[in-house]
Amino acid sequence: MDHLETRAGLTEDIRRHYDSLSAFYRLFWGPHIHHGYWEGDESPAEAQVKLMKRLAERLEIERGHRVLDIGCGLGGASCWLARTFGCSVLGLTLSPVQARAARKRATASNTAELVSFQVCDANRLSLPGETFDLIWIIECSEHLHDKEAFFRNCAGLLRPGGRLGLCVWLRGETGAPAHEELVEEVCQAMLCPSLLTKDEQVSMLNRVGFDAIRADDITAHVLPTWEHCQKLMGHPMVQLVLHAKGGKLRRFVDSFRLMEEGYRTGAMAYGMLTATRAPNRLHAHRIRAEEHNAPCPVEDGTQRD
């Protein structure tokens, strides 16, 4: 199997994962499929909103801003951004199931006039350049193969002075063989081609046209996410789903313990980053897919489940 076939196979595995488990996520985690930010005795739902608030504060979002939410999941953040700030949001997800759920959420939350959703492989972004004021990415880039190409595309999609907000799983800086093995186990179970260190992520953003980069390690604040996940796994309904879905889901759930261990030992970290497109270092251009890529498909009534 060649490199492109391997990439395509992993991307399809990710699509199937989110197609088949979106109802599971929504039932047990609600509309936000990402870590929470704890400072005290917040509930998981409160902590998830607090993570978004922290990122939004750094981005200084304003009414009328045009936001691209890459890896929008069930639409929770897209709708929250529109409702909270009055900005317009385009959400992208690899999963048709998630896109449909996100549209329903927009209707239910009275944000449908400000929010829209497309089915799109973020490995193959093909959107008009300099279209957005802000790009919002929470726990999506971990799944992508060529991260540098992706972030270069993000820079091109932003208007001059536009801002990127990123929450991301990171590889720790220890270099210990045991830690590298743990990260590899997490990547295999969580369908991630690779993880970057914080320094690698910052350097990559700088290379592709961003400056004013702020990168904070907030691992201690997000660690309780996995403590709550471990408790959740004892729920009878979760056990029923695990029994029904089989091996791959069991491997995914087993990795929750690895995530917690990774954060506690320094093998992994969690970063919150913001950056500004540097207009003097990036020529305006329209993002086009590589020759072997196709544009992001827009879901319509004919697209498969």
State pLDDT tens for residues 84-109: 999 999 999 999 999 999 999 999 99
Report which secondary-structure segment, H or E, holds 207.
helix 198-207
pLDDT of residue 295: 54
Residue 132 lies in a domain: yes
**Which of 230, 233, 53, 223 lies closest to 138 in space, CA to CA?**
53
Percent of the chain with pLDDT over 90: 68
Confidence band (pLDDT; 50, 70, 90) for 261? very high
Torsion 244-250-252-258 (CA) sign: positive
| HSE, side-chain direction, 13 A CA sphere, residue 211 | 7
Residue 296 lies in a domain: no
Domain with 272 in it: 3-279
CB distance 271 to 251 below 8 Å: no
What CATH number is given to the structural domain containing 116? 3.40.50.150
Residue 290 lies in a domain: no
pTM of the model: 0.89
Residue 304 lies in a domain: no
pLDDT of residue 68: 98
Structure tokens at 295: 């544009």
Task: Provide the domain count of the chain.
Answer: 1
State pLDDT tens for residues 39-59: 999 999 999 999 999 999 999
Stretch 203-227: mean pLDDT, rounded? 96
Residue 289 lies in a domain: no
Residue 284 lies in a domain: no
Confidence band (pLDDT; 50, 70, 90) for 280? low
Confidence band (pLDDT; 50, 70, 90) for 281? low
Residue 21 lies in a domain: yes
